[in-house]
Structure 1
Amino acid sequence: MTIYFYGADEVPYGCFSNFSSHGFDLDGHWWPTSEHYFQAQKFVGTRHADLIRRTASPVRAAELGRGRALPLRRDWERVKDDVMRRAVAAKFAAHADIRAILLDTGNAEIVEDTGTDH
């Protein structure tokens, strides 16, 4: 079985989206969404990372993180998957309700249904 998700507002699997409003503490800061965390980690240790963390929406965090006015951290390609794993693990650890939804998927494959992000 495969579970497809995309929008954060989809029931019940929208909580799998990085844009879902399920904040968490990680690395000594509060992150409103996993998208905020992921995008900010591209610029870890800079003011731009903090700007991304504090921005009002995950859409804006994505815009700020995808812009190329500033260079990405040198090891980004090597660490980005682990960064995402840490964010998702922290998000589900912080919220019992969505953790239950995730665990209820059993051994199903979970796929973000987008053609633009692999």
Structure 2
Amino acid sequence: MTIYFYGADEAPYGCFSNFSPHPLELDGHLWPTAEHYFQAQKFAGTRHTDLVRRARTPLRAAELGRDRSRPLRRDWERVKDDVMRRAVAAKFRTHADIRAVLLATGEEELVEDTGTDHYWGRGRTGTGRNTLGRILMRTRAQLRAEQ
């Protein structure tokens, strides 16, 4: 079986969304959501990082992170998967309730059900990379091993 997820408000798997309201602590700061952390890291070491961290909503953080009037860090394409792995791991290690939801998925495939993102999700054709789903499954395996 495959578990599809997308919206942060869709029970029971909305917690797999980076927009879910689960704060995490990384790099000496509290981030309201994994999305805030991920988008801010596009500008690591600049004043834009804090601007994104303080965004009122994860959607606003995403908008700020996608705004190309701000200079994207040079190594972004090389580090973005690691940034996402750190955010997801921190989120599920911090919150026991959603860690239990993730672990309860067993060995099921997790797929971000978005028609607009072929990298992080399955994309319009269903043949996308599903990188976020893969990171969640890897995090699930690591958390299981730590138990």
In the TM superposition, structure 1's runs of 4+ consecutive aligned residues that sit over 2 Å from their partners are none
Structure 1 distance, partners of 2:30, 2:102, is: 22
Instruction: Find the counterpart in structure 2 of residue 59 from structure 1.
Output: 59
User: Could you give the per-residue CA deviations for residues 36-94 of structure 1, whole angstroms, max 9, x where no partner exists?
Assistant: 00000000011111000011100000000001002211100000001000000000000
Consecutive unaligned residues in structure 2, runs of 5 or more:
120-147
Where relative contact order (Cα < 8 A, 6+ residues apart) is larger, the structure is 1
Instruction: Find the counterpart in structure 1 of residue 135 from structure 2.
Output: none
The TM-score with structure 2 as length reference comes to: 0.79
Consecutive unaligned residues in structure 1, runs of 5 or more:
none
For residues 17-96 of structure 1, the aligned pairs below 5 Å read 17-96=17-96
Opposite residue 101 of structure 2, the aligned amino acid is I
Structure 2 distance, partners of 1:37, 1:19, is: 11
Percent identity, aligned pairs only, is 79
The TM-score with structure 1 as length reference comes to: 0.98
Opposite residue 58 of structure 1, the aligned amino acid is P
Opposite residue 81 of structure 1, the aligned amino acid is D
Partner SS for 1:42: helix
Opposite residue 44 of structure 1, the aligned amino acid is A
Structure 2 distance, partners of 1:82, 1:116, is: 22
Structure 2 distance, partners of 1:84, 1:19, is: 13
Opposite residue 74 of structure 1, the aligned amino acid is R
Structure 1 distance, partners of 2:71, 2:84, is: 19
Structure 2 distance, partners of 1:47, 1:57, is: 19
Instruction: Find the counterpart in structure 2 of residue 15 from structure 1.
Output: 15
Partner SS for 2:61: helix
